[in-house]
Chains A and B, each alone.
Chain A
Amino acid sequence: MRANDPEDVVAGSAHEDAHLAADTATPETLPYDPGGDVEEAVAVDVAEVRPELADPTTVDAIVAPSRDVHVAEGEPLLSMRDVTMQFGGLTALDHVTFDIRRGEILGLIGPNGAGKTTAFNAMTGVYRPTSGTVLFDGEVIGKAARNEITRRGIARTFQNIRLFGEMTALENVVVGTDARHRTSVPGAVFRTRRHRAEERDAIDRGMALLEFVGIGARATERARNLPYGDQRRLEIARALATEPKLLCLDEPAAGFNPAEKESLMGLIRHIRDDGYTVLLIEHDMRLVRGVTDRIVVLEFGRKIADGTPEEVTSDPAVVAAYLGVPDDAAVPDLPEIGGPTTGAAPTTGGTR
């Protein structure tokens, strides 16, 4: 039986994330809902189940595990070297070269169709470059299977949310932690020591991560029933659960209102401060400007600028590329779990 210290709990209440209050986005369900009237849980009191998680420092300690954080900061973690991607006659990336450095938040921006998603897919091993190389942590991202690439330390979220809708929020995150686990069928059938240890670790880390992104109270709810904003946060938690060296966020603020964007920026900074390197792909210039350390701008598959937010936003080429395109003209996607990974954003709806 776990000790349940009331003071701990009260302390936890202060920690309650401010950004949650801004959670006004309409809840989205999946396009296909079998309509099972399966039990739905309401908010769980995390502090009651996992009292230690009421303490933000403990959460941070669990979230940023014992690994090479704050090591060799500023050194390139991922390098795009002269990468060209061609699909048939279409050149989606044209000799693109840039680095992502350890411990930074790099923004990758560009107008629609500039090749951001293609670059993203080349980095995460979904596409193999037509020419050029992608180096991650000193090794070429080559023919490795996609799950292998995750295990090498690149995690991502999806532009169109792709959670495992039937699983609870916690289970979604635990699938992420499983990327570091090694139990297979024999271990699970005979409940070996390692299996049990991994399962305990999975729940601890999973709950801590949910608490970290601010949706700990939703742990036992099915992902498909979470409000839109929480689904986006859950995706981040799931990606962090794989203990990545590089976290790639594909338009994490799509569909967010300004208050939500603000809290998201806080979260991203917090992630960086915990020792992760973050790649942020975003339409919203203001968000990118506010949170990133460095920005790479793509247009028509070519890199047109690379530098600090100040340098980039005053760059005439960038201004030209964005001329007449207000910040929020970039239209968010409607969340769609199980939808296609890539593809242009459907031009319907908007936040304002």
Chain B
Amino acid sequence: MSTSDTPDATSAKATSAKSTSAKATTSRPTSLPPAGRTPVAQRPHAGLGDRLRLWWDALARPTQWAIGVPFILLIAALPVIRPPLLTTVGTDFGSVMAQFGMVALIAIGLNVVVGQAGLLDLGYVGFYAIGAYTVALLTSPDSPWNLTDDWLSNDWAWLACLPVAIAVTAISGLILGSPTLRLRGDYLAIVTLGFGEIVRLLADNLDSVTGGGRGLSQVAYPRVGVSEEHPNGVFSAGNASGTLNAGVWWFWVSIVLIVIALLVVGNLERSRVGRAWVAIREDEDAAEIMGVPTFRFKLWAFVIGAAIGGISGALYAGQVQFVVPTNFNVINSMLFLCAVVLGGQGNKLGVIVGAFVVVYLPNFFLGRTEIFGIPIDGNEIANYKYLFFGLALVLLMIFRPQGLFPARQKLLTYGRELYVAARAAARKVSGAGDGSGRADAVPAVDVATEGDAR
């Protein structure tokens, strides 16, 4: 059904005109014996995520924008509004959200590698580190390669280094990927793990360049919004108090970068590239035999994932203005992986939620002494975060390996009308049964099917 691209009013007219044709087609013996599984719409307990997806997919593009943009703005406003229950006690909510932004970006990048292409990368923190160190090495006065006192102005040094960081991480992804991506899955995991450790050890050992364990300080950040109140601009770590502190500003920067990353990754997903990735994930040999140049696309996944991780690293370096090797322990890789697995491998929006859970939950408990009147030792709970994440990973793998929001990737650029038609057909089935399985909203296509049913 092709109503999706037209305004609702015309489409209603068009569909009513079409109802005869639709009626005619129902006589078509399309009814194959039903597949082994009942459609979700018919199941008594379709998950919230599925309902949300059904509802969202059925919306017309403009409507999606009309809902999506305010929603993003609302999220961006969260650290300013600081809703009472949501805001954190022990740490500044703005910095928590900034951290969430960075981990979300990482989760999107890691999701390309793990979720879409099915390559388990346990050394992803290495790319994050390379991104951070690239910026730090080019802008910190402690570094021998500091450019800020030569020709690079400190005001825009961070921004200038961002593309450099992206390029350097992408190249490092290429360097790591080209020899190792011929390895089978579990070997790849161990090799990447080794890579992550090597990057950290290099940062630790190459004292004369990276400052070793002392790290690199005074990393550049965008000097924007300089005023008497903020002598170093709003992005400075000095802007730590108040509602509009540096954390909030960095969160906004990361939102912009996340949206861009989502658009890029989304475009890739709905193309030959995304299909190749999923095919490789599902059955690499069969993909190869079906003409997919598997190695090349695995390498692309690695490079793109690495580049996105590098962006996040650059954000981190700018926000904290100080990088030390201990920030890039391999355990962070596991945390990132946890975000991806929790959110649902392959679901690029789900992994953002996963990142939120991973970053926010420990901070939520930090410093809290009671919740809903029940006394708790929040710090203690926050301490246990790795224990809980470990448990979450094991339990998820046993009971819900697809994560909280299982992916149903769309792999076709122009498949929308098909999906909509399929959904309409599904709706038709559920309408005949009980109404409970239906999504809350009644989109345009639904009108048409309702008309058919009567």
A residues in contact (CB < 8 Å) with B: 1-2, 4-6, 9-10, 12-13, 16, 20-21, 23-24, 26-29, 34-45, 47-49, 124, 126, 145-147, 150-151, 155-156, 158, 162-168, 170-171, 174-176, 178-181, 183-185, 187-189, 191, 195-196, 198-200, 202-203, 207, 217-221, 225-227, 230, 238-239, 242, 337-338, 341
Contacts and interface: CB of A to CB of B under 8 A. Distances in A.
In the A-B complex, the 5 residue pairs with the smallest Cβ-Cβ separation, listed nearest first, are A179-B291, A41-B422, A27-B36, A188-B271, A36-B406
Contacts, number: 256
Nearest to A9: B25
A9 to B, nearest CB: 5
A126 to B, nearest CB: 8
A69 B269 CA distance: 34
B243 interface: no
Contact of A35 (B25, B296, B402, B418): B402
Contacts of A176: 290-291
A178 B292 contact: yes
Given A2-B2, A124-B289, A164-B282, A27 B413 contact: no
12 contacts: A20-B32, A34-B401, A37-B43, A39-B408, A39-B423, A45-B421, A47-B25, A48-B1, A48-B21, A49-B2, A156-B289, A238-B290
A42 B25 contact: no
B47 A37 contact: yes
B265 to A, nearest CB: 9
Contacts of B315: none
B288 interface: yes
A147 B30 contact: no
Most buried by B among A21, A42, A175: A42
Interface in B291-307: 291-294, 296, 300, 304
A174 B1 contact: no
Contacts of B418: 44, 49, 170, 203, 207, 219-220
Interface of B: 1-3, 5-6, 14, 18, 20-22, 24-25, 27-41, 43, 45-47, 50, 53-54, 264, 267-268, 270-276, 278-279, 281-283, 285-294, 296, 300, 304, 400-402, 406-408, 411-415, 417-419, 421-423, 425-426, 428-429
B301 to A, nearest CB: 10
Given A34-B401, A40-B35, A158 B21 contact: no
B246 to A, nearest CB: 31
Given A1-B2, A39-B39, A145-B288, 15 more contacts: A4-B18, A5-B21, A6-B24, A12-B28, A13-B29, A20-B32, A38-B406, A163-B286, A166-B282, A171-B411, A175-B275, A187-B271, A188-B267, A188-B274, A238-B290
Given A29-B37, A40-B35, A188-B273, A9 B283 contact: no
B144 to A, nearest CB: 35
B423 to A, nearest CB: 7
A145 B295 CA distance: 10
A187 B264 CA distance: 11
B148 to A, nearest CB: 32
Contacts of A165: 282
Contacts of B274: 188
A277 B38 CA distance: 39
A162 B291 CA distance: 14
Contacts of B270: 188, 199
B294 A189 contact: no
A139 to B, nearest CB: 17
A200 B412 CA distance: 9
Given A35-B402, A242-B290, A189 B46 contact: no
Contacts of A2: 2
Given A167-B411, A170-B415, A170-B418, A40 B37 contact: yes
A4 B21 contact: yes
A45 B28 contact: yes
B30 A37 contact: no
A41 B423 contact: yes
B292 A38 contact: no
A6 B272 contact: no
Contact of B289 (A23, A146, A183, A199): A146
Nearest to A223: B282
Contacts of A238: 290
Nearest to B21: A6
Contacts of A188: 267-268, 270-274
A38 B300 contact: no
Contacts of B285: 162, 341
A181 B281 CA distance: 20
Contacts of A150: 289-291
Most central of B30, B31, B40 by chain A CB within 10 Å: B30
A221 B264 CA distance: 26
Given A48-B25, A184-B300, A217 B287 contact: no
